[in-house]
Amino acid sequence: MRLLHVAAEVFPLVKTGGLADVVAALPVAQAEQGADVRLLLPGYPAVLEAVQGARTIIDIGACFGALRVRLLLARMPGSKLPVYVIDAPYLYRRDGSPYQNLQGEEWPDNLQRFALLGWVAAHLAADDADPLWVPDIVHAHDWHAALACAYMAEHGPTRAASVYTVHNLAFQGLFPMHDWPALGLGSRLMSPTGLEFHGQLSFMKAGLKCADRITTVSPSYAREIATHEFGCGLDGVIRGRGADVVGVLNGIDPALWNPATDPAIATRFDAERLAGKHACRLALQAELGLQADEGGEAGQGSLLLTVISRLTAQKGLDLVLAALPELVRAGVQFAVQGTGEPALEAAFRMAQQAHPGRVHVHIGYDEARAHRLMAGADVIAVPSRFEPCGLTQLYGLRYGTVPVVRRVGGLADTVVDASPAALADGSATGFSFDAATPAAFERCVRRALELRAHPAAWQALMARGMAQNYSWQGPAQRYAALYEEALGQRGRVGLVGAG
């Protein structure tokens, strides 16, 4: 089966969140299982500089506001997977993030930039770009690639099926409706039964309405987004798709996130050599200027809690800030890394100033530092208000860093709360809470602090987490079955679902 993954970012070339990790790992797992897999990416400078052996497949010319557009075929560094790159300097050759300028403002031409991505994907699917390779499946990721599904649906002869994955429904790609002519799509899609969403044009809705199959990144999130509470105004559309919407839990790259081989951490370790984790803990405390406590290995001393996250209200970081003073007094140290909302960044800086030696905050993202935080911390907090899947709790499990999570989305699917019954039957892997309140978060962390005072029980909890298998092999097999269903039903779907 020939698979084309279409996305706006991929690790390690361009990364703003977990989407990049998924796009880096899932295609590799599928290739290992025998699929013929390629990627399609925008030609950001970081992409063009990193890919290998790039050659021109077709000179497209002027479109979507750019005077010069080419489609290149190259190889990804590391995995060597084939990757198509859209070389459009006018649209992609710029500083800043893939979506915003250096001042944090959305690029004003994002509609054209990501419409081009979907448009090229549809042409590849229609045997109109690369005469030597045509995909059976176009797998579009999040709103940036969603228009691929609409362009494919508008082109009747396209035999390829489309699969659309919602990584985060809250980011929808909304644009003024008067920009519609720039897309070159039929007028039938301009209505509320098409891409119109409360007077705006929604890229996300293009994927939800036009894809042959829709996936989310966890089973619980698939159920949640069909409700008013989590549906972000699109729950009616999602309910209208019925059984076409399924949840496939994300995996992680077990080679990249492996404490037994990780070159970024102070001492390598595994479930049989947990003394190495204690060494990583002491090294992290020294690096961050946190008070060292030699009793950590024996379950005494501080509970070292890390947060590695975008600093946004969605991630529940305001709950952490509100509970932080009391938890510091209870014996918790905090090591935070992230960037996001200015108010939260400033509040975490103030927390560090108020609690020297107990709180360390790094504003920004550093991949190697993330590995050191994961290896050295006792627990990792993911108190999200909603969480499609979450990857950091999976990394935490892998590194024996016990997750403390809110019971939503993929967090509910991957962390078994350390209730007395779960501790007794050996199924517990972390701690979870329900209410999105500082008090509920604080109580959950205090439960972790109490259990850590019992070294045998704590190490058993760590070992169970480290034994979990969240590789991409299982998800890759589930996607293969989903692709077969989509191909078998190709031609039936078009525009379906509720308005």
Q: List, for residues 337-363, the tens digit of each pLDDT value.
A: 999 999 999 999 999 999 999 999 999
Q: Measured between alpha carbons, how far is 261 from 258 in angstroms, rounded to an integer?
A: 6
Q: List, for residues 4-40, the tens digit of each pLDDT value.
A: 999 999 999 999 888 999 999 999 999 999 999 999 9
| Global pTM exceeds 0.85 | yes
- Single out the residue of 381, 225, 264 nearest to residue 315, CA to CA: 381
Q: What per-residue confidence (pLDDT) applies to 494? A: 42
Write the CB contacts of 330 (distance below 8 Å, at least 6 apart in sequence): 446, 449
Q: Are 367 and 228 in contact (CB under 8 A)?
A: no
Q: Measured between alpha carbons, how far is 286 from 303 in angstroms, rounded to an integer?
A: 15
389: tokens are 């899947």
Q: What per-residue confidence (pLDDT) applies to 489? A: 79
Q: Measured between alpha carbons, how far is 151 from 142 in angstroms, rounded to an integer?
A: 15
Q: Answer left, alpha or beta for residue 56, where phi above 0 means left and psi between -120 and 50 means alpha.
A: beta
- Residue that has been written with the tokens 């999105």 in this structure: 436
Q: Are 382 and 411 in contact (CB under 8 A)?
A: yes
Question: Would you state the torsion angle of the CA atoms of residues 478, 482, 487, 490, taken in this order, to the nearest 10 degrees?
Answer: -170
Q: Answer left, alpha or beta for residue 161, where phi above 0 means left and psi between -120 and 50 means alpha.
A: beta
Give the gyration radius of the chain's Cα atoms.
23
Q: Measured between alpha carbons, how far is 316 from 308 in angstroms, rounded to an integer?
A: 12
Which is it for strands 200-202 and 196-197: parallel, antiparallel or unpaired? antiparallel
Q: What per-residue confidence (pLDDT) applies to 476? A: 97
Q: Are 387 and 220 in contact (CB under 8 A)?
A: no
Q: Are 106 and 94 in contact (CB under 8 A)?
A: no
Domains of the chain with bracketed CATH? 2-251+473-488 (3.40.50.2000), 275-466 (3.40.50.2000)
Write the CB contacts of 96 (distance below 8 Å, at least 6 apart in sequence): 102, 107
- The identity of residue 78, as a single letter, is G
Q: How many CB atoms lie within 10 A of CB 184?
A: 12
Q: Which of the residues in the chain have pLDDT under 50?
A: 298, 492-499
Q: What per-residue confidence (pLDDT) applies to 492? A: 40
215: tokens are 């996936």
300: tokens are 């005494």
- Residue that has been written with the tokens 């002869």 in this structure: 157
Task: Report the chain's terminal Cα–Cα distance, integer Å.
Answer: 33
Q: Are 334 and 324 in contact (CB under 8 A)?
A: yes
Q: Measured between alpha carbons, how far is 397 from 465 in angstroms, rounded to an integer?
A: 5
Please write down the HEC assignment for all residues of the chain.
CEEEEECCCECCCECCCHHHHHHHHHHHHHHHCCCEEEEEEECCHHHHHHCEEEEEEEECCCECCECCCEEEEEECCCCCCEEEEEECHHHHCCCCCCCECCCCCECCCHHHHHHHHHHHHHHHHCCCCCCCCCCCEEEEEHHHHCHHHHHHHHCCCCCCEEEEEECCCCCCCEEEHHHHHHHCCCHHHHCCCCCEECCEEEHHHHHHHHCCEEEECCHHHHHHCCCCCCCCCCHHHHHHHHHHEEECCCCCCCCCCCCCCCCCCCCCCCCCCCHHHHHHHHHHHHHHCCCCCHHHHHCCCCEEEEEECCECHHHCHHHHHHHHHHHHHHCEEEEEEECECHHHHHHHHHHHHHCCCCEEEEECCCHHHHHHHHHHCCEEEECCCCCCCCCHHHHHHHCCCEEEEECCHHHHHHCCECCHHHHHHCCCCEEEECCCCHHHHHHHHHHHHHHHCCHHHHHHHHHHHHCCCCCCHHHHHHHHHHHHHHHHCCCCCCCCCCC
Q: Measured between alpha carbons, how far is 45 from 66 in angstroms, rounded to an integer?
A: 16
